[in-house]
Structure 1
Amino acid sequence: MRLLKYIVLTIIVTLLYSCGSKEQPEATEAHHEEEENAATLTEAQIKTAGITLGKIERRQISGTIKANGILDVPPQQLVSVSVPLGGFLKSTTLLQGSRVRKGQLIAVIENADYIQLQQDYLEAVNQFEFSKADYERQQELAKENVNAQKTLQQAKSNYQSWLAKKNGLLAKLKLININLSELEKGNITSTGNVYAQISGYVTQVNVNIGKFVSPSDILFEIVDTEHLHAELTVFEKDVLKLRIGQRVRFTLANETQERMATVYLIGREIGQDRSVRIHCHIDKEDKELLPGMYLKANVETGGALVSALPDEAIIDFQGKKYIFIPVADEAHTEKEGNEPKHETEEGQHFAMVEIQIGNSELGYTEVTVPDTLNEQSQVVVTGAYSILSKIKNSEEEGHAH
């Protein structure tokens, strides 16, 4: 009977020992994983690294949408100059970059067809005046029943035909800017003038003296740079955040000065690259700016009261965002009342906690932390990268051993 009890007792002890030996590696592995995301610093190390603690704050942070774009001009501020009736370019003084005023003579076109056009107009004017006088005479005769109704109708038709022809030729002459007062005096010219339709700068010169230009050719392009606007490309995911009147902060390439603009038009079509174009009025116009300049912008979508931490408290490690919090070492925790002490004889223990970030403004960033933390939790607000360096050095020493 004693032998049976001894055997049973031996089996129980063996089973308990084997279970304990199986659980030990798992506990060791979990402890090692915890150590990888934690570090212990002495009081001297903390002071040298300038590590300080703070709490998560509630701050007003403006939401922004990042966008790229260019400076552009409205269609009415960009003019392509052409001639309705072709001809040879007789003279021009324009060069790229030339400043022109509205109504300024910028080119002279020459064509023998202009001469025929003026001759036809003068003949039409004479015929019109004759037909008009004849029509008025036939009207007077018709009142006295002297002439036939058919004669009156023919005179009216002749008068209206010459009126239409005269007006048509007059419109053509106006297209080539023929001086009508000189023409009515009998002064016929083979040239027509081209005038600037807006004030601005010449951005393209596509012709030279003696070149024949047709109505489809563009001689010059003139841009009024006093009314440039910013054209931004915003991705589809941000479109619903856009509103007319939102403020825009932007900087030009190779420029640190920040400029301001206002959203005044939002595109109503999603492009093939899943983006939308928005147009913004620039607050302070600058004549030195040029269309096509590249820019980077932030569209302000409005402020909100959010949980935030100083930018220095947030570290970027392996593509993720983290903060450090002081933690108690269970093996050395001392208690005063109900509050645990985080400091031990070895030093202060810090753990790395993954977070999500949002918008940033004035040195603070919106954060989303795990449910285990709240606004009363202590967080490392300065010196976070010093703790990260301590963790990395510890890992390298561990791998070396």
Structure 2
Amino acid sequence: MNSIYKFLSLFVIITLFISCSGEPKEVKQTAVQEEHHDENIIELSAEQYKTADIQLGAAEMKALSGTTKVNGMLDLPPQNMVSISSPFAGTVKSTEMLQGMRVRKGQLIAVLQHPDFIEIQQDYLDYKSQLEYLKLEYDRQQELAAEQVNSKKALQKARSEYQSMQAKVSGMRMKLNLMNVNLSALDKGKISSTFNLYTPISGYVIQVNTNIGALANPSDVLFKIADTDHLHAELTVFEKDVPKLKIGQKVRFTLANETKERMATVYLVGREISDERTVQIHCHLDQEDDQLLPGMYLQALVESGSSKVTALPEKSIVEFEGLKYIFVEAEASHFERVAIRTGVTEFGYTQVYFQDNFDWKSKKIVVNGAYDLLSKMSNGEEEGGHAH
């Protein structure tokens, strides 16, 4: 009987020990469950943050509704582009111009030569010498006329010959000025065998249509130079959209090779409708950029001045299981996934609707790298855990 009692006592003790030792495990398990992170929170290491190229921004107010989509190109006003030709036929003796070179007003761009150029200078000096003689003769005839020694006809002839030669010399001086001849040196008898071409404006060389040894005629455009400091946006608008446009409206545009958004302002609305039923709209850039070139194509939205909406860049919005989300910075290196609804999308921006209790104005929103965050979060959920 003592053996049976001892066995039962030992069995009760073991049972109690097992029961007591199980309670902490349940508490510990509950504690672990309580330590689970929110499934909408993801943490990145410094390396992951850099690799994903995370960039933060904020929601903006954009006029996405009531805008007019148009195409166009960058252009220059006529006074900012010059075509340079030779005023006289000649052979290009030298030039250092290349496309893309920056030139300043008055800079030498080419030297030309032609035998006729020498002859023109010789004619000028000859006419100038004759003018001096005819001036003396005219003065002499005036003195004789005052003393009533000569005839009135002799005085008129002297005056006519003098004035005729005066006109010839004046015309020759103007012609030589067009050829950029140093008249001071020429008046001293120094004849040059070449004449120079200079640029009348500062800017960039956009065309070179000649070379050393080439014959240049007055009808040939040798160089084109553009002052790109004052480019404008020339928009092509369909006839039906013209009533929506007014001077002073803002224009948002991007170039074909850029994602950067630029701004312009409607300055002039064309008054002629083309055969394609379009009208040209002239816009001034809000910020000049000397890296831009005339002829670059652009896409633009002309804001009609209607009420603006809350919007985010398209790439800041991600989709998962049929719902739209954004990521906001919860704390350093921690990002929270937030559900949103979207509206109209135009020109790289999408209208967004936040939950009523979401203070979006105070939040830093991921505007680049959102898809990397979604991918990392999705991978963590598929593995049955939570992304940390």
TM-score, L = length of structure 1: 0.61
2:252 aligned with 1:264: no
Provide the secondary structure at the position in 2 that maps to 1:68: strand
Deviation of 1:143 (Å): 2.2
2:272 aligned with 1:273: no
Tell me the distance in 1 between the aligned counterparts of 2:271 and 2:148.
68
Tell me the distance in 2 between the aligned counterparts of 1:60 and 1:190.
65
2:53 aligned with 1:65: no
Q: 1:238 aligns with which of 237, 241, 249?
A: 241
2:77 aligned with 1:74: yes
Q: How big is each residue's C-alpha offset from its partner over 1:117-137, in whole Å with a ceiling of 9 and x where there is no partner?
A: 001000111111211222122
Q: What is residue 387 of structure 1 aligned with on the other side?
A: none
Q: 1:96 aligns with which of 73, 96, 99?
A: 99
| Structure 2: stretches of 5+ with no match in the other structure | 1-61, 313-343, 354-388
Q: What is residue 220 of structure 2 aligned with on the other side?
A: 217
CA spacing shift, 1:141–1:278, aligned 2, 3 Å: same
CA spacing shift, 1:271–1:82, aligned 2, 3 Å: same
For residues 132-151 of structure 1, the aligned pairs below 5 Å read: 132-151=135-154
User: Alignment length, in residue pairs?
Assistant: 264
Tell me the distance in 2 between the aligned counterparts of 1:183 and 1:89.
22
CA spacing shift, 1:66–1:165, aligned 2, 3 Å: same
Q: 2:189 aligns with which of 181, 186, 197?
A: 186
Say if 2:64 and 2:345, in contact at 8 Å, map to a contact too.
no
2:87 aligned with 1:84: yes
Q: 1:203 aligns with which of 202, 206, 220?
A: 206
Provide the secondary structure at the position in 2 that maps to 1:85: coil
Tell me the distance in 2 between the aligned counterparts of 1:61 and 1:100.
42
Q: How big is each residue's C-alpha offset from its partner over 1:309-353, in whole Å with a ceiling of 9 and x where there is no partner?
A: x9xxxxxxxxxxxxxxxxxxxxxxxxxxxxxxxxxxxxxxxxxxx
Q: 1:107 aligns with which of 97, 110, 130?
A: 110
Provide the secondary structure at the position in 1 that maps to 2:66: strand
Q: What is residue 123 of structure 1 aligned with on the other side?
A: 126
1:64 maps to a residue whose letter is T
Q: What is residue 351 of structure 2 aligned with on the other side?
A: 363
2:294 aligned with 1:291: yes
CA spacing shift, 1:173–1:305, aligned 2, 3 Å: closer
Say if 2:92 and 2:211, in contact at 8 Å, map to a contact too.
yes
Deviation of 1:217 (Å): 0.7
1:164 maps to a residue whose letter is A
CA spacing shift, 1:173–1:264, aligned 2, 3 Å: same
Provide the secondary structure at the position in 1 that maps to 2:234: strand
Q: What is residue 228 of structure 1 aligned with on the other side?
A: 231
2:289 aligned with 1:301: no
Say if 2:64 and 2:351, in contact at 8 Å, map to a contact too.
no
Say if 2:118 and 2:191, in contact at 8 Å, map to a contact too.
yes
Say if 2:345 and 2:351, in contact at 8 Å, map to a contact too.
no
> What CA RMSD, in Å, does the superposition of the two structures yield over aligned residues?
2.9
Tell me the distance in 2 between the aligned counterparts of 1:288 and 1:60.
28
Deviation of 1:140 (Å): 2.5
Identity value in percent: 61
Deviation of 1:246 (Å): 1.4
For residues 369-388 of structure 1, the aligned pairs below 5 Å read: none
Tell me the distance in 1 between the aligned counterparts of 2:90 and 2:183.
20
Say if 1:62 and 1:302, in contact at 8 Å, map to a contact too.
no
Tell me the distance in 2 between the aligned counterparts of 1:88 and 1:232.
41
Deviation of 1:176 (Å): 1.0
2:253 aligned with 1:250: yes
Post-superposition, which runs of at least 4 consecutive aligned residues in structure 1 deviate over 4 A? 59-62, 357-362
Tell me the distance in 1 between the aligned counterparts of 2:256 and 2:63.
30
Tell me the distance in 2 between the aligned counterparts of 1:158 and 1:218.
40
Provide the secondary structure at the position in 2 that maps to 1:254: coil
Tell me the distance in 2 between the aligned counterparts of 1:152 and 1:240.
72
Provide the secondary structure at the position in 2 that maps to 1:177: coil
Say if 2:86 and 2:197, in contact at 8 Å, map to a contact too.
yes
Provide the secondary structure at the position in 2 that maps to 1:121: helix
Say if 2:207 and 2:225, in contact at 8 Å, map to a contact too.
yes
1:363 maps to a residue whose letter is Q
Tell me the distance in 1 between the aligned counterparts of 2:174 and 2:105.
21
Q: What is residue 163 of structure 1 aligned with on the other side?
A: 166
Tell me the distance in 1 between the aligned counterparts of 2:257 and 2:296.
11
CA spacing shift, 1:139–1:249, aligned 2, 3 Å: same
Deviation of 1:359 (Å): 9.3
Deviation of 1:362 (Å): 6.6
Deviation of 1:264 (Å): 1.1
2:199 maps to a residue whose letter is A
